Amino acid sequence: AATPSPNFLRTIIDNDLAAGTHARPGMPPVITRFPPEPNGYLHVGHAKSICLNFGLARDYGGRCHLRFDDTNPEKEDQEYVDTIMDSVKWLGFSWEYGDGEYLHYASDYFDKLYEMAEYLIREGKAYVDSQSPEEMAKNRGNFSTPGTNSPFRNRPVEESLQLFRDMKAGKYKDGEHILRAKMSEDAMSSPNMTNRDPALYRIRHAHHHRTGDAWCIYPMYDYTHPISDALESITHSICTLEFQDHRPMYDWLVATLADGGFFPRPVPRQYEMARLNLTYVVTSKRKLRELVDTGVVTGWDDPRMPTIVGLRRRGYTPESIQLFCERIGVSKADGWIDMSTLEGALRDDLDPKAPRAIAVLRPLKLIVDNFPEGESVECTSPVHPHHPEMGMRSFPFTRELWIEQEDFMETPTKGYHRFTPPVGDQPGSRVRLKYGFVVECTGYDKDENGKITAVHVKYFEDSKSGTPGADNYKVKGNITWVSAATALEAEVRLYDRLFTEPQPDAGGKDFKAALNPNALETVKAYLEPGMKDAVADQRFQFERHGYFVADRVDSTPGKPVFNRVTTLKDSWGK
Ligand code: ATP
Ligand code: MG
Ligand code: MG
């Protein structure tokens, strides 16, 4: 794992450890949590939060809880719970520690949350508001205008308590009443809008994926979250910047309820960091869902999606995503991270470990006219140029081979070092077929449409790579090839970025206008024969083309389908 770099959160934790801010007998010094709402698939932004929260816990000998913030029954589902757990594990993290499993659901706290709400009512710190939603919105004011107290704000405690119990008992319809906090007498004129009597509970006659029909009132996120943190003895509760204004409410709730004896002190503290904004993708769950629902992509795990399941299927490794998160760090100011940073982390992770292989993606026949038909010469090359311990691979040289179409030019441009035909008494170019023989171009075939159908060469028998004669030949270029007799024909999916613009949804633009029509090109390619043994999720560097993975969904034994993870170099914007 990469060495953690200092950041403002580590500084806070270091200071807290020195001061004993969160010291409690028998408890680890740092407890963090990752709190997804199970209403969609995790994306690369969540990966930042996962790596940060689980990473801090690991580095400080603490623990990180996985907690489902499942307080919005209409949008949530078990399907999302399952994929979220899967994605966290795949990224390399676990909520299981030596002393147990720290998997929590906010819905497990519904009884306690209810009890605490009654306490707040009895203390005069919450009341049932019976304004219509429209009146409530109007009376809330705005950034330049103070709000107006609800006429129900000072209704007797007993009345609020009875109404709240009746809300719970199902006596009212959705939206008829709401439970609101009263953080202070003059809270409705607070410059911080979140402080203006925030909602704590609303009526929702909806089926919940875990609690079924037990409840028809559901706690709000801003109420549930701090309390869940406190119940789980979280020390550092890290969220994104848009929650900065919610911090006073967070602090008020945990302090008030600690005073009420619902949990011990010290209470958790909230810290905000910049969310990850990555170029060339969208990360809003709503927009990702739209791409899935409108068939722009094949599903949440489409290799073009910035979801964790999409990145996984594309061929990203957990290590590359961890490395990316470590490199981008955490900051207190919003900004954009370029996609090339993610791709760079992937290359840096795969380069030392991906076995090499040869693939011809846009094939052109090469015929070695002076090589006997039906014979073959075995050629070998290292599985990895810098790791001899990974061994050697071999493939045959035969009379008919596949090369890339771009490796032949009928009329070469200046500086072209691959196959060019003889002109007058000028011989054709000499090229080394990598790991094989030196060959000289002798001619080519064209069909009636002017399409080049084959290139002819002669080979030099004593020029084989690795033999003493090899050095006697001066060649201009070194090109990759596979034997037509033994090549594995395979479908290769050349994926590219999903959007052509770095910020497809900036300023409320229609992000679908910036979709990249070339984000997927499927080709029939010829691969070196050993590739038939590639298994799903196995990654390779196809020499000169980039990194590829055997698709985890569509590969079958002996018949892998490959996805391009990324090219060898960053070619965007160049
Ligand atoms: P979205 O806006 O995409 O729906 P969300 O924030 O509503 O995402 P949650 O399931 O509530 O999704 O997120 C779980 C955790 O992941 C939260 O703590 C949230 O702060 C964090 N998170 C979500 N998106 C990002 C991001 N882009 N960068 C960093 N952290 C993120
Ligand atoms: Mg959220
Ligand atoms: Mg959101």
φ, ψ for residue 477 (rounded to 5)? -140, 165
Is 37 close to ligand 1, i.e. is its CB under 6 Å away? yes
Sites in the chain below the pLDDT cut of 50: 1, 574
Which domains, and CATH codes, for the chain? 124-219 (3.90.800.10), 276-350+487-574 (2.40.240.10), 363-483 (2.40.240.10)
Choose among 89, 5, 95: nearest CA to 47: 89
Atom 14, ligand 1: residue with shortest CA distance: 36
d(CA 510, CA 307): 20
Instruction: Give the number of the ligand closest to the Cα of residue 240.
Output: 1
CA of 64 to the centre of ligand 1 (A): 16
Model pLDDT, residue 137: 95
Is 38 close to ligand 1, i.e. is its CB under 6 Å away? no
Atom 27, ligand 1: residue with shortest CA distance: 45
Is 283 close to ligand 1, i.e. is its CB under 6 Å away? yes
Residue indicated by tokens 């906010």: 106
Atom 10, ligand 1: residue with shortest CA distance: 36
Which residues are annotated as part of the binding site?
37-39, 69, 221, 240, 275-276
Instruction: Determine the distance from the C-alpha atom of residue 278 to the mean position of all C-alpha atoms in its chain, rounded to a whole number.
Output: 10
Which residues sit with Cβ closer than 5 angstroms to ligand 2, an ion?
37
Is 209 close to ligand 1, i.e. is its CB under 6 Å away? no
* pTM for the whole structure: 0.95
CA of 505 to the centre of ligand 3 (A): 15
Residue indicated by tokens 């004896």: 261
Choose among 275, 310, 302: nearest CA to 87: 310
In 3-state terms, the chain is what percent helix, strand and coil (to 5)?
Answer: 30, 25, 45
- Residue 563: Cβ within 10 Å count: 25
Instruction: Give the number of the ligand closest to the Cα of residue 325.
Output: 1
Chain segment 322-375, per-residue pLDDT in tens:
999 999 999 999 889 999 999 999 999 999 999 999 999 999 999 999 999 999
Return the ligand 1 atom nearest residue 39 CA: 10
- Residue 389: Cβ within 10 Å count: 7
Which residues are annotated as part of the binding site for L-glutamine?
69, 221
Is 177 close to ligand 1, i.e. is its CB under 6 Å away? no
- Residue 560 makes CB contacts below 8 A (sequence gap 6+) with 490, 531, 532, 534, 535, 536, 538, 550, 551
Evaluate whether 270 touches 239 at the Cβ level (below 8 Å). yes
- Please state, rounded to an integer, the average pLDDT across all residues of the chain: 96
The pair of structure tokens assigned to 61 is 């000998």
Return the ligand 1 atom nearest residue 286 CA: 4
ipTM for this prediction: 0.96
CB burial of 462-492 (b: ≥16 within 10 Å; e: otherwise) equals ebbbeeeeeeebebeeebbbbbbeebbebbb
- Residue 31: Cβ within 10 Å count: 25
d(CA 397, CA 404): 16
d(CA 561, CA 574): 29
The pair of structure tokens assigned to 303 is 């290799």
Evaluate whether 303 touches 291 at the Cβ level (below 8 Å). no
Q: Residue 82 is inside which H or E element, if any?
A: helix 78-90
* Ligand 1 pocket, mutate which of 9, 33, 46 (most atoms under 8 A from CB): 46
Instruction: Give the number of the ligand closest to the Cα of residue 306.
Output: 1
CA distances from 74 to 67, 70, 285, 543 (A): 18, 10, 15, 49
Atom 29, ligand 1: residue with shortest CA distance: 275
Model pLDDT, residue 572: 64
Return the ligand 1 atom nearest residue 48 CA: 29
CA distances from 479 to 379, 385, 404, 482, 513 (A): 14, 16, 9, 10, 39
Give the start-end residues of each E strand in 409-497.
Answer: 430-433, 438-446, 452-459, 477-479, 482-483, 488-495
Evaluate whether 384 touches 541 at the Cβ level (below 8 Å). no
Q: Residue 289 is inside which H or E element, if any?
A: helix 285-293
Is 130 close to ligand 1, i.e. is its CB under 6 Å away? no
* Ligand 1 pocket, mutate which of 49, 84, 246 (most atoms under 8 A from CB): 49
Name residue 160's beta-bridge partners. none
Burial class (CB in 10 A: 0-12, 13-18, 19+), 10: middle
Model pLDDT, residue 451: 95
Model pLDDT, residue 509: 87
Tell me the catalytic residues: 37, 275, 285
Q: What is the CA radius of gyration of the chain?
A: 31
Which residues are annotated as part of the binding site for ATP?
37-39, 240, 275-276
3-state secondary structure at position 351: coil
Choose among 303, 292, 316, 324: nearest CA to 80: 292
The pair of structure tokens assigned to 454 is 């084959």
Is 257 close to ligand 1, i.e. is its CB under 6 Å away? no
Q: 3-state SS of 240-282?
A: EHHHHHHHHHHHHHHHHHHHCCCCCCCCCEEEEECCCCECCCC
Model pLDDT, residue 209: 94
Alpha helices in 298-338 (DSSP H): 308-314, 318-328
Is 269 close to ligand 1, i.e. is its CB under 6 Å away? no
Model pLDDT, residue 573: 55
Beta strand 392-397 with 377-382: parallel, antiparallel or unpaired?
A: antiparallel
- Rounded to a whole number of angstroms, the distance between the first and last alpha carbons of the chain is 32
- Residue 148: Cβ within 10 Å count: 15
The amino acid at 173? K
Is 72 close to ligand 1, i.e. is its CB under 6 Å away? no
Evaluate whether 308 touches 92 at the Cβ level (below 8 Å). no
